A = this chain, B = another copy of it.
Amino acid sequence: MCVNEESNGTAPAVQRPPPATPYHTVQDYISNVNSYKIIESTLREGEQFANSFFDTETKIRIAKALDSFGVDYIELTNPCSSEQSFQDCKAISSLGLKAKILTHVRCHMGDAKRAVEAGVDGVDLVIGTSSYLREYSHGKSMEMIQKTALEVISYLQSQNVEIRFSSEDSFRSDLVDILSLYKTVDRAGVHRVGIADTVGGATPRMTYDVVRTLRGVVSCDIECHFHDDTGCSVAGATHVDTSVLGIGERNGITPLGAFMARMVVTAPEYTKSKYNLKELKALETLVADAVEINIPFNNPVTGFCAFTHKAGIHAKAILANPSTYEILDPEIFGLSRYVSINSRITGWNAVRSRAEQLGLSMTDSQVKEVTAKIKQMADIRPLAIDDTDSILRSFHLELQQ
């Protein structure tokens, strides 16, 4: 016999209340998830996205929206990229935003001086340290990298700006080389060191291992920059680089929205009190329009199907308690859930709920009967919500006649 409705066991419901935080996590000694900071790079990494062309006005609108959302830092394109890049950097630095303004430059004295001229609050220095980049990009030895780094850092200190020093392609660099370099710049007094998975191939476990090792070597903050070539760009870290919708070079980096989804689960109080999560959708729409892309159907939080429930067994439980099949409450982001009943995999509990919404009163066995009709129809062709509503209404009408 085939059980077409959801099962009803005979045991009483379990009395033990669900735990306050749904996922049982054991925090380890390096865990810092309750005070992470966002370094928002839509206006730097995002400018490297294939489709990006941000004029000054658009850049300013995006910067203001990011500031209103509550990001800690806004990172801008190197002012040496073009004259307009310099002017835009200057314009955004003088807006008086709450977020600190950073620019991301090569570890050159020339770039550093231009960054200071542009009036930023901080400078993100970067240099390639992998054998690939040392051979095929800048051709410098580790000794030369260290010497230049110390000169540039000393200059920036004299100018009172915040300093981040990062290797590029950190995961394909010699571990001892980069630890030695980070130790040197940490002693020289930088505010943060950065780890970058520039080509997007690190796994979460590699990231954890490198960050844990580095934590024992430097006393400054640690920033992480992850690319999404292999779908692993969201990995729990402390200072994290994001961009809106993840736009950036190639497949981009950690998306702000996905990171917020992750952190609302991992550190709900800090995340909800610090960031204006209800602005996420508007912020994403602003950037998507600016770079002329569609928001992916499966975008975390704001994709059209993120809060849509369809299978009967899911719908039944969601209607009783949304926590059964939702780790994120859509309300937090100013959104709502949708329980679909227009398919052959629906169940009678979902149909009963829809009938109640429509004010059609039926017994459970009548609901089961009309559910069978809906499934039969859905086997034949795709149903829209008004199709199923019609089936419900005409069934209800027949009952009354």
Contact = CB atoms under 8 A, between A and B. Distances in A.
B249 A48 contact: no
Contact of A325 (B80, B111, B199, B246): B199
Contact of A82 (B85, B314, B316, B378): B378
B204 A340 contact: no
Identical chains in the assembly: 2
Contacts of A300: 228-231, 251
Contacts of A320: 136-137
A323 interface: yes
Interface stretch (A6-14, A34-42, A157-165, A359-367): A6-14
A334 interface: no
Interface string A132-161: 111111111100100000000000000000
Contacts of A179: none
Contacts of A73: none
Given A199-B326, A231-B259, A376-B82, A8 B139 contact: yes
A340 B49 CA distance: 10
Main secondary structure of the interface of A (DSSP, over half): loop
A95 to B, nearest CB: 20
Interface stretch (A63-71, A186-194, A277-285, A289-297): A289-297
Given A111-B2, A172-B23, A229 B327 contact: yes
B309 A249 contact: yes
Contact of A4 (B16, B50, B80, B144): B80
Contacts of A90: none
Given A3-B80, A82-B344, A13 B324 contact: no
Given A3-B108, A23-B171, A249-B310, A255 B236 contact: no
B379 A310 contact: no
Chain A: interface size category: 35 or more
Contact of A172 (B22, B249, B312, B381): B22
Given A6-B138, A231-B255, A246 B375 contact: no
Given A205-B204, A231-B234, A317 B136 contact: yes
Nearest to A321: B136
B9 A139 contact: yes
Interface stretch (A216-224, A261-269, A350-358, A392-400): A261-269
A181 B333 CA distance: 37
Contacts of A316: 137
Contacts of A83: 376, 379
Contact of A1 (B110, B202, B321): B110
Contact of A11 (B141, B259, B299, B321): B141
Nearest to A142: B14
B293 A140 contact: no
A343 interface: yes
A203 to B, nearest CB: 6
A235 interface: yes
A181 to B, nearest CB: 15
A270 interface: no
B51 A305 contact: yes
Nearest to A82: B344
Interface in A300-350: 300, 303-314, 316-317, 320-321, 323-328, 340, 343-345
15 contacts: A7-B106, A8-B139, A9-B139, A19-B131, A19-B172, A23-B172, A23-B203, A53-B381, A136-B321, A201-B265, A231-B233, A249-B309, A251-B298, A294-B296, A296-B299
For the complex of A and B, the 9 pairs showing the least CB-CB separation, nearest first, are A296-B296, A231-B258, A201-B327, A204-B204, A84-B379, A82-B344, A53-B382, A9-B140, A136-B320
